[in-house]
Structure 1
C-alpha cells in the first residue's frame, strides 16, 4: 500500500518557568559538547517540571533524574533534570508519569523537593536534548526568561 512520509516538524516548549541557557554554557561537558544531542538548557526556581510537547514517555531513569520522550511526530528527546542528579538515587524527585503514558505539552511530569536540593547543593541546570538529529534542522531560541508557554526549539525536517 502507500506509505506517506510523516511530517517531522514540531515545537518544544520550555519545561520550566525560569531562564533558558545555551547548551554550550552548561557546566557539564557531555551536554556542552553536545555528545548526546543538541538542545537548550534551563535554570529555574520552581519545583515542577512540565512536558515540553505532546508525546509518549519512553524512558524514566531508575534514579528519576531523566525522562525520555517521543513526540507525536517521532522525534526522541531527553529531559535531564539537574547535573549529577543521578547520584541522588531518586531522592528529592517525584515522577508524576509512567513509561508509555501519553502526555500533552504543559502537563506536570515531575516534582522536586527544592529544600532537599538546596540542602544538598544540587545544580538543577536542566538540559532538554534532541537525541536523534539525523534528518532534522533545529531552530533554538536565544537565552531569555521563559515560561512553559514559550517555544524554545522548533524542529524541522531537512
Structure 2
C-alpha cells in the first residue's frame, strides 16, 4: 500500500487581486529567490493568516512575518516593497512572536495612505522558502481571505 502526502492549501492573505510572483516588481521575489508563492495587490491593507500555525518571527521593521503551519511548512508574509526605511511606521501588528494563530486571523494592518505618500508598493507577498513545488489555484483573480489560492 502506498501512502500519499495530503495536499496542503493556503488561503489568500488579503481581499484583493491575486497575481503570480513573476509579476511582483522586485527581482528577489519575481525570480523566486526567496521561494515559491503568490502575491496580492489592490487590497484594503488588512492582512490575515493563510494557515493555522505559529508565528516564528516578526522582522524588527514589522514588514515581514514568518509562520510555521500546522503541517510544518514555513511561510513568509512580506508586506510592501522597499518599506524597511519606514521603520515600521505603516504597519500595525495584531499578533506576536510565538503566538499560535488560526487560518483567517487578522495579523496586521497596513497604512495604505502612508505607503502611497512614501511612493512604496503595497503588494502583500507570501513565499514558502523551503517548498520545492506548488501551484496557484486561481490566477489574476479577485480573491477573498476565504479563497484557497495556492496548493503544495
**Aligned residue pair count:** 148
Q: What is the CA–CA distance in structure 2 between the aligned matches of 1:138 and 1:113, rounded to whole Å?
A: 31
Matches within 5 A, 1:101-116: 101-116=99-114
Q: What is the CA–CA distance in structure 2 between the aligned matches of 1:72 and 1:95, rounded to whole Å?
A: 21
Listed as ranges, the gaps of 5+ residues in structure 1 are none
**Does the CA contact (< 8 Å) of 2:17 and 2:43 recur in 1?**
no
Show the counterpart of 1:23.
21
Show the counterpart of 1:52.
50
Distance 1:61 1:145, change over 3 A: same
Match of 2:78 among 77, 80, 92: 80
Listed as ranges, the gaps of 5+ residues in structure 2 are none
Match of 2:136 among 133, 140, 153: 140
Show the counterpart of 1:39.
37
Distance 1:31 1:88, change over 3 A: same
Q: Report the TM-score, using the length of structure 1 for normalisation.
A: 0.88
Moved more, 89-98 or 118-127: 118-127
Instruction: Give the superposition deviation at 1:8.
Output: 6.1
Q: Report the TM-score, using the length of structure 2 for normalisation.
A: 0.91
**Does the CA contact (< 8 Å) of 2:10 and 2:151 recur in 1?**
yes
Q: CA RMSD in A?
A: 1.5
Instruction: Give the superposition deviation at 1:115.
Output: 2.2
1:98-130 superposed Cα distances (whole Å, 9 cap, x missing partner): 111111111000012222222212201121101
4+ residue segments displaced more than 4 Å = none
